[in-house]
Chain A
Amino acid sequence: MADTANVEIDDKLLKKRLDKALFKNRSRAFLLVLPLLLFLLVAFIGPILYFLSHGFIDKTFAALMPQTTEALSEWDAVSDPTEEMFAAVVADMVVARKNKTIGRVATRVNRDKPGTRSLFTSSARKAAKLEAPFSESLPAVKKDWNDIEVWQAMKTASRQYTLGYYAAALDMKVNADGSFERQDEKRRIHMTLLLRTMQISFLVTVFCLALGYPVAYLLATLPARTSNLLLILVLLPFWTSILVRTTAWIAMLQAQGVVNDLLVFFGMTPDDARFSLIYNKTGTLIAMTHILLPFMVLPLYSVMKGIPPSYVRAAKSLGANNWTAFWRVYAPQTIPGIGAGALLVFIVAIGYYITPALVGGQDGTMISNIIDDHMRKSLNWNLAAALGGVLMVIVMVLYYVYDRIVGIDNMKLG
């Protein structure tokens, strides 16, 4: 009896010690990764989440027009504006004019109801001199104050947590009562752009596959010495600056460029009707295919190199002709490479910025470019964040798929 008890205690002790040792090992491994994780959290993940939060949160109106915000919160968005609301607006406008923040308020409401910018700036100028009852004196300055839509727009703008920007990113608008509605057909620009981004990325992926597959096949079947030499032709573009390659394509494709010169020389087009190959969608497609082609060739090549040539030989010895042997035996084994390459190219393409910005012209720009436009030109960070959020969701879903199908740890460079 005593013996069994002892063994039991020993067992427990041993297990405890083992757990302790394993835990120690685990934490030691984790401690090595920790500095990098913290660094990424502070310098990458945190900043991105902070930026994306702007797509949901907008405190501009609530911070600059506090009394109005409070008055509007009790309003049902249907009945006529009350005297209290008018008084609150006038009081806030007086303060906002003194602090020189009325411009920001005007811009904010203008996003929800275009054309209201001057209503705020000019009314604010006279707000200090107005006398009660404000529901009569304010509309006397600008009769637009009687328009209920202005008040509805203010109510929408006063919400600190809003889905309005995401709605705008998907070409919808939020009504004052909180319901969603599709934008008028003429104002649906973001969906058009998103679809175009998808279309360009898809086409680039298809082109890369069409061009990359034969090259990878050739590299995988040639003797090592020759294929290593030819591989340099794939790797050199990969290592060359994207800006250099984009510049090179401008030199190649412009009206007086090398390609057009050759076409004229061979009489394929008259001198006065040269093709416009750049600063449009064609230019974006050609330059992006060139830039992303190595991302397709390299995974394909590494998969094809692992396919034993004896399989095709066996198929042929069993009576298959070249066509059947290739499509029934060889090609199915390259599917992992196709998946890896295509996903990688598509993921990189969908967020592409530089090339479309430089050679895209009007119809070759992509979603990244409009995000940049909203940050730089219209200074609408909230909408930029919402569009960024949409792009981010697409990319993350693809990244997840990539991880499931290919595995992140199978990613190879060169």
Chain B
Amino acid sequence: MALPAYAGWGERLWYYTFRFICFLIFLFLIAPILIVLPLSFNAEPYFSFTPGMLSGDPEAYSLRWYKDILINGMANPEAQTGWWTDVWNNAQWVRSMRNSFFIGVIATIIATTLGTIAAVGLSRAEMPYKKTIMAFLISPMIVPLVITAAGTFRAFSEFGLAYTHIGVILAHAVLGIPFVIITVTATLVGFDNSLVQASYSLGATPVRTFFKVQMPLILPGVISGALFAFVVSFDEVVVVLALGSVEQRTIPRQMFSGIREQISPTILAVATILVIISIALLATLELIRRRGERLRGLSPS
């Protein structure tokens, strides 16, 4: 909405004021995330800028907190041989990173598989009780996490699943499902059903039709649903707090106790890495979206 040439001074003033207000709001949104980056290179164990950092003194910056991510928890950081094996097996952050990825990937696979199949069923015109079932499937997103955590802990302990990887994975799969359902059904809304009928009339079985006709077209939705499900698991801490022991420590869990117990700039270094990961995820998602729009014959916007 450009300013028209005939705009009076009052209109001009409001136009620039409004833009300035919006600038401040964007600053509010993005500044905290950006502030983490320089602070993570702090040479001192503080959460704030030192005078040295502000004056641009290279001495005031260091990589010590990034090194700390690797070293913290190692059996023998001074050892000459087997340093990386030690990091892989013992460093706290590396272990939580491994847990996060392991739990996240398997939970995503469960959520995406079950969610995609269900979304295909839900998008059929003849699906009975569609709204009610949809409301059920979305509910893990709405129910407060504390209640989900308490419920799964109580019930899973009866079956010996509390404090196990399986327990955390199952709970995270549940939390990822709404996101898969939402993204995949959104892609299926624009799906041309005559393609399926054409495939049937040419003699394809339903399974073959699904993999050869439907799947390639809804794939962008499935992938972005999977990414959402992964991020949900990767970022989840309340369920891990209840269901997980030290063996199931994930990155958010480690950050949570780090913030509560001994707050050190290592957390900022980890945060920086996580911000970079989320930028990568966002970029992937945008590429998928554009590809999906091209595939379905829409001009990318």
Interface residues of chain A, those whose CB is within 8 Å of chain B, are: 22, 25-26, 28-33, 35-37, 39-40, 43-52, 54, 211, 214-215, 218, 221-222, 224, 228, 230, 232-237, 239-252, 254, 256-258, 261, 290, 293, 309, 322, 347, 350-354, 358, 368, 371-372, 375, 381, 384-385, 388, 391-392, 395, 399, 403, 408-409, 411-414
- A33→B39 contact, CB < 8 A: no
- B137→A239 contact, CB < 8 A: no
CB B286 to nearest CB in A, in angstroms, measures: 8
Chain B residues with Cβ below 8 Å from A358 are: 256, 259-260
Chain A residues with Cβ below 8 Å from B39 are: 251
20 interchain pairs (CB within 8 A)?
A29-B121, A36-B177, A43-B173, A50-B154, A51-B150, A54-B154, A214-B22, A240-B278, A241-B255, A241-B271, A243-B259, A247-B36, A251-B48, A256-B47, A347-B142, A352-B144, A368-B144, A368-B146, A371-B146, A395-B142
- B22→A241 contact, CB < 8 A: no
Interface SS of chain B: helix
For chain B residues 78-119, which have a beta carbon within 8 Å of chain A? 110, 114-115, 117-118
Does residue B246 face the partner (Cβ distance < 8 Å to A)? no
- B18→A214 contact, CB < 8 A: yes
CB A26 to nearest CB in B, in angstroms, measures: 5
Residue of B nearest to A402 (CB): B142
CB B88 to nearest CB in A, in angstroms, measures: 23
Chain B residues with Cβ below 8 Å from A54 are: 154
In whole angstroms, how far apart are the Cα atoms of A48 and B147 in the complex? 7
Residue of B nearest to A348 (CB): B142
Chain B residues with Cβ below 8 Å from A375 are: 150, 153, 242
- A51→B235 contact, CB < 8 A: no
Chain A residues with Cβ below 8 Å from B69 are: none
In whole angstroms, how far apart are the Cα atoms of A252 and B31 in the complex? 9
In whole angstroms, how far apart are the Cα atoms of A106 and B301 in the complex? 67
Does residue B298 face the partner (Cβ distance < 8 Å to A)? no
In whole angstroms, how far apart are the Cα atoms of A322 and B33 in the complex? 36
Does residue B274 face the partner (Cβ distance < 8 Å to A)? yes
- B156→A47 contact, CB < 8 A: yes
CB A113 to nearest CB in B, in angstroms, measures: 27
Assuming A371-B150, A395-B144, is B177 touching A40 (CB within 8 A)? yes
Does residue B218 face the partner (Cβ distance < 8 Å to A)? no
CB B172 to nearest CB in A, in angstroms, measures: 10
Please count how many residues in chain B sit with their CB below 8 Å of the partner chain's CB atoms: 92
Chain B residues with Cβ below 8 Å from A392 are: 143-144, 147
- A248→B36 contact, CB < 8 A: yes
In whole angstroms, how far apart are the Cα atoms of A391 and B149 in the complex? 14
- A412→B186 contact, CB < 8 A: yes
In whole angstroms, how far apart are the Cα atoms of A192 and B94 in the complex? 42
Chain B residues with Cβ below 8 Å from A222 are: 1
CB B273 to nearest CB in A, in angstroms, measures: 10
Q: Beyond A50-B155, A353-B238, list 12 extra A-B contacts (CB 8 Å).
A: A33-B133, A43-B152, A44-B140, A44-B174, A50-B154, A241-B234, A247-B268, A250-B259, A251-B35, A256-B47, A358-B259, A388-B147
- B136→A244 contact, CB < 8 A: no
- A236→B126 contact, CB < 8 A: no
CB B301 to nearest CB in A, in angstroms, measures: 5
In whole angstroms, how far apart are the Cα atoms of A245 and B154 in the complex? 30
Partner of A242, one of B25, B150, B235: B235
